[in-house]
């Protein structure tokens, strides 16, 4: 077991901000104080820098099959990129395909991560078919630390569940303590609009967005919350993008319902305008839900500031333009859905949120680490800087700038949606369970060093 002393930094949690030293013994934080003098195997001077709890990204899709191809990052390249960006924990999605058990899906995804992940990871379970047996499996998975389940109201015939199945799954979490995460878009309406657009010869990438109206997200968000209300359980809306959906969450929270939602950097920094880029460039931004009108960004920032939105995750699901996004060059509905983001979240949100005064530094930590840790059963092991917590620590330089781009980033994808954008506020040193895994520009971690996290129930 080695020891590490981080000196002179400004320690920031969701509630605190003070100058101090952090002493790490083995894989946990041991002592916090001022002018600590204990001998350590390594000492890092963090003067002028922030000492933050490692980022927690609860929405990633590594090594995920979609439309005949696989997302471009596997658990090794994806978690290395996450680490460079200051994220030390991910929660990815294991998919139950029709006819399969949840356990089969879980084992499949455990194997994908095993020996590869460089940071700690957990899984949400995607349920695409619900039966009595699957409901029993939900209970068993909760006991094994897979305490959240994702359901889809979109992608009919592939992922979509009907309202009865959604309601049954919600009721089940009332007994087993799990949490339901919802992809809230009205899949039936979208399917009709997609077929209609294609029949009219509208095949360009922008029609992906034009066939997924904001109201389809608003309607499904409202329905998801209403179903959870009738079941008497909390609900977590994933990748909320539309003002119409935020209104539904806000209204529910105002009535005292335990409705939670995350948004993602792409909805805060990109907009529908990106689909109007020339040629096939719009395909870079094909994701679901789609990018929304620019005015929506301010609404989402306000939701983040006032706690109507509780987390910022990435929905990292990268596909290369070459050979992957190209699958939809003559038909937008065949473009693999998703974009890279696992590495750029912390710097984008710091630069665009904290530096502009939209959110406080504490709120930044809360949205990117503490709150997702609490919602998904990882707190206080993760999500804060406190004695006894895992030593997942980011030393963050608020003054250094970098230009985002495919040349400088580590995600295994041939474009970046923020290409050329300059951000101020960059990860300096990243520590995962007491080990330095990113030292300046250099990755010093090891494939397979990340562990599966058994998460607790609410």
| Rg of the Cα atoms in the chain | 21
Distance, in Å, from the CA atom of 248 to the CA atom of 231, rounded to the nearest integer, reads 18
What is the smallest separation between the CB atom of 180 and Zn ion, expressed in angstroms? Answer: 15
Say whether residue 315 binds Zn ion (CB under 5 A). yes
Say whether residue 343 binds Zn ion (CB under 5 A). no
Span from 4-12, 29-37, 199-207, 308-316 in contact with Zn ion (CB under 5 A) = 308-316
Say whether residue 185 binds Zn ion (CB under 5 A). no
Q: Which is nearer to Zn ion, 52 or 249 (CB)?
A: 249
Q: Answer whether the bond into residue 380 is a cis peptide, omega within 30°.
A: yes
Say whether residue 392 binds Zn ion (CB under 5 A). no
Residue showing the smallest CB distance to Zn ion in the complex: 315
Q: Which is nearer to Zn ion, 315 or 351 (CB)?
A: 315
What is the smallest separation between the CB atom of 314 and Zn ion, expressed in angstroms? Answer: 9
Which among 228, 198, 236, 192 has a CA at the least distance from the CA of 213? Answer: 192
Q: Which of residues 87-106 bind Zn ion (CB under 5 A)?
A: none
Q: Which is nearer to Zn ion, 315 or 343 (CB)?
A: 315
H/E stretch holding 51 reads: strand 50-53
Span from 106-114, 250-258, 314-322, 370-378 in contact with Zn ion (CB under 5 A) = 314-322
Q: How many alpha carbons fall within 13 Å on the CB side of residue 205?
A: 29
Say whether residue 262 binds Zn ion (CB under 5 A). no
Span from 148-156, 309-317, 325-333, 431-439 in contact with Zn ion (CB under 5 A) = 309-317
Residue owning tokens 């984008």: 348
What is the smallest separation between the CB atom of 31 and Zn ion, expressed in angstroms? Answer: 39
Q: Which is nearer to Zn ion, 343 or 390 (CB)?
A: 343
Distance, in Å, from the CA atom of 276 to the CA atom of 205, rounded to the nearest integer, reads 9
What is the smallest separation between the CB atom of 328 and Zn ion, expressed in angstroms? Answer: 18
Residue 215 tokens, joined: 């109201």
Contacts of 68 (CB under 8 A, 6+ apart): 327
Span from 168-176, 276-284, 310-318, 345-353 in contact with Zn ion (CB under 5 A) = 310-318
Beta bridge mates, 434 = none
Q: Which is nearer to Zn ion, 22 or 283 (CB)?
A: 283
Say whether residue 63 binds Zn ion (CB under 5 A). no
What is the smallest separation between the CB atom of 338 and Zn ion, expressed in angstroms? Answer: 7
Q: Residue 434 burial (CB < 10 Å; 0-12/13-18/19+)?
A: buried
Q: Which is nearer to Zn ion, 217 or 315 (CB)?
A: 315
List, as one string, the DSSP characters of 289-331. Answer: SPP--TTHHHHHHHHHHTTSS-EE---B----TTTTGGGGTT-
- Taking the CB of residue 134, how many other CB atoms lie within 10 A of it? 21
* Residues near Zn ion, by CB under 5 A: 315
């Amino acid at each position: 077991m080695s020891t590490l002393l981080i000196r002179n930094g400004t320690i920031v949690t969701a509630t605190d901000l003070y100058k101090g030293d952090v002493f790490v013994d083995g894989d946990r934080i041991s002592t916090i104080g001022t002018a600590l003098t204990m001998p350590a195997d390594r000492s890092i001077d963090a003067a002028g820098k922030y000492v933050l709890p490692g980022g927690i990204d609860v929405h990633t899709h590594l090594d995920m099959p979609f439309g005949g191809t696989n997302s471009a990052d596997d658990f090794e390249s994806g978690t290395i990129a996450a680490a460079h960006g200051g994220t030390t924990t991910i929660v990815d999605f294991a998919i139950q395909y029709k006819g399969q058990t949840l356990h089969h899906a879980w084992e499949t995804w455990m194997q994908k991560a095993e020996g590869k992940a460089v940071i700690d990871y957990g899984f949400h379970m995607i349920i695409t078919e619900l039966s009595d047996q699957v409901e029993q499996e939900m209970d068993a998975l909760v006991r094994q630390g897979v305490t959240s389940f994702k359901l889809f109201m979109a992608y009919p015939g592939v992922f979509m569940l009907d309202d009865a199945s959604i309601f049954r799954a919600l009721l089940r979490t009332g007994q087993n303590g799990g949490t339901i995460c919802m992809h809230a878009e009205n899949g039936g309406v979208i399917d009709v609009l997609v077929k209609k657009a294609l029949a009219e010869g509208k095949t360009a990438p922008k029609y992906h967005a034009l066939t997924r109206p904001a109201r389809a997200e608003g309607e499904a968000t409202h329905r998801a919350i209403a179903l959870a209300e009738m079941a008497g359980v909390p609900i977590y809306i994933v990748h909320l993008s539309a003002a119409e959906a935020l209104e539904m969450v806000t209204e529910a929270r105002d009535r005292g319902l335990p409705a939670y939602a995350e948004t993602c950097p792409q909805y805060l920094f990109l907009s529908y305008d990106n689909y109007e880029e020339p040629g096939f460039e719009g395909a870079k931004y094909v994701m679901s839900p789609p990018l929304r009108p620019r005015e929506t960004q301010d609404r989402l920032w306000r939701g983040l500031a006032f706690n109507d939105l509780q987390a910022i995750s990435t929905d990292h699901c990268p596909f290369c333009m070459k050979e992957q996004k190209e699958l939809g060059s003559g038909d937008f509905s065949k473009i693999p859905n998703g974009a890279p983001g696992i590495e750029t979240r912390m710097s984008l949100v710091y630069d665009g949120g904290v530096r502009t005064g939209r959110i406080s530094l504490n709120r930044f930590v809360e949205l990117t680490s503490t709150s997702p840790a609490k919602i998904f059963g990882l707190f206080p092991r993760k999500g804060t800087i406190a004695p006894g917590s895992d030593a997942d620590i980011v030393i963050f330089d608020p003054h250094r700038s970098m230009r985002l781009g495919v040349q400088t980033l580590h995600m295994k994808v041939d474009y970046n949606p923020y290409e050329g954008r300059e951000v101020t506020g960059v990860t300096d040193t990243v520590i995962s369970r007491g080990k330095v895994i990113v030292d300046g520009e250099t990755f010093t971690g090891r494939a397979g060093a990340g562990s599966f996290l058994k998460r607790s129930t609410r």
